[in-house]
Amino acid sequence: MYARLSSILFPIATILFIGAIFWGYQEHQEKNSVLIKAENQYQRAFHGLSHNMGRLHDQLGQTLAVSATSQGMQRKGLVNIWRLTSEAQNDINQLPLALLPFNKAEEFLTRVSSFAYRTAVRDLTKQPMTPEELKTMKSLYKTASSVNNEIGKVQDAVIGDHLRWMDVEVAIASENGPNDNSIIDGFKSVDKQMGAYPENEWGPSALSADRKLSSAALDGRDMTADEIKKKAIDFLGHQASGKDVKVTEEGSKTDIPAYSVSVKGQDDTHIQLDYTRKGGHLLWFMNPREVKARKLDFDTARNKATQFLVRHDLKDMSPITYDEYDHVAVFTFVHKIDDVKIYPEKVTARVALDNGEIVGLQASDFVFAKKLLTPGKAKITKEQAEKGLNPDFKVHEYSLAVIENDMRQPVLCHEFIGTINDHRYRIFMSAETGIEENIEEIPDSAKGIYSSK
């Protein structure tokens, strides 16, 4: 009986054993295939980074070599610098550097890209590069040379010693490892070189682009936690009546010291509000309650949002965008001065479509925007600006508006709202030069805001 049973089970066990070996071999092959593909991608990205950094160094040198009066060649060089830094950043993002301190290098490339782009997009015939910006370019050229030398050392080690990037991932992931991998050490040296670039040598183009929010320019004095609590209760009204209101201070050592307020809402949710410490300005409000049904139409929701803003001293606001999801209407409003839209001064209000309650407000852009006393006067007439539009662009609405240009400076524009190629756009034409300052597509969800369909 045992012999008979063995004669049946032995072939089955043999087949299973052979199958397990084959499955294990197949898994091993697939794993190796994945590792080879990953290694090839890392190698391509690294050598691409080395190549692009070398080209960036060359392009900086070429741009410095042209005459100061050759604005066309300067602009071409700056555009190429911007493109090459973007390609270098893309290469970095494909390397296994998530756990490796390489943030200074990435910040350096971001600043170079910003500097090149902001300088290239302005009219260099009217605003040529300043001595400070040329000094910045020379420093960039010098830094890029040092960085290339360090990357070259890493590349020589990778090629000469047949180093693998997969070993870098293992070395980084190892908590107890010595992390003396040649590639890791090389990139730490590259990061150190880029981080040594002096902060105060960046020109006005880059500085204006990298604007930091700060409470320093806000009106008012520093508020106490009790004062903020009272402001939150007044703002919420019946929603805070009899509820436990908690106030915590946040970011006391940052540029925007603030207070965070929490109030228990419906179904164990918590209403959240953020206020600046200086002046007690409301930055953000959110009531995360679930909205289960849509009972209000567009016009009613818009009126509810407008009335809410007026009650909270946000007057003369005009809706510019609209969206809707989960039975909540989301409106973006901009401030108006003498019928001129001031786009930097904007707020976003969320309206629950079951009862019209305001369940969210984002006002940080409005709070930190540089307030204009007057929008200024247009040098170019509406008719003159309209001549610069595409002949196929059908204008439906018009107004004056202030937007921020690429240099973060306020610019008065003629705003034309219309359609072309079955899509709706806002086109902003400079009221000083008559050329396009910006173009935005208006989503279909916002069509109810505008009279034209």
pLDDT in tens, 197-227: 555 344 444 444 445 667 777 888 999 999 9
What integer pLDDT is reported at residue 176 of this predicted model?
47
Segments of the chain scoring below 70 in pLDDT: 1-39, 96-104, 158, 160-213, 240-242, 446-448, 450-453
Task: Please count the other Cβ atoms lying within 10 Å of the Cβ belonging to residue 224.
Answer: 14
Looking at 3.30.450, 3.40.50, 3.10.450, 3.30.70, the CATH number of the domain 382-449 comes to 3.10.450
Question: How high is the pLDDT of residue 206?
Answer: 45
Q: What angle do CA 381, 382, 386 make, to 5 degrees?
A: 120
The whole-angstrom distance between residue 96's C-alpha and the CA centroid of its chain comes to 22
Tell me the three state secondary structure of residue 17.
helix
Instruction: Give the pLDDT of residue 203.
Output: 47
Kind and range of the H or E run holding 341: strand 340-352
Q: Are strands 258-264 and 394-404 parallel, antiparallel or unpaired?
A: unpaired
The architecture of the domain spanning 225-368 is 2-Layer Sandwich (3.30)
Rounded CA gap, 282 and 363, in Å? Answer: 7
Q: Residue 153 corresponds to which tokens in the numbers above?
A: 């050392």
Cα–Cα dist 230/185, whole Å: 55
- 382-449 has the same fold as 225-368: no
Return the sign of the alpha-carbon dihedral for residues 9, 10, 15, 18.
positive
Q: Which among 328, 223, 349, 332 is positioned nearest to 232, based on CA atoms? A: 223
What confidence tens digit (pLDDT) does each residue in 80-136 have?
888 888 888 888 777 765 545 566 677 778 888 888 888 887 778 878 888 888 888
Q: Where are the alpha helices (DSSP H) in 346-424?
A: 364-368, 382-386
Domain ranges for the chain, please list them.
18-209, 225-368, 382-449
Long-range contacts of 239-246 (CB under 8 A, 24+ apart): 239/263, 239/265, 239/271, 239/287, 240/271
Concatenated DSSP letters for 194-215?
A: HHTS-GGG--HHHHHHT----G
Instruction: Give pTM, 2 decimals.
Output: 0.64
Q: Would you state the pLDDT for residue 208?
A: 45
Q: What is the pLDDT of residue 45?
A: 77
Q: What is the DSSP string of 233-272?
A: HHHHGGGGTT--EEEEEE-TTSSS-EEEEEEE-GGG-EEE
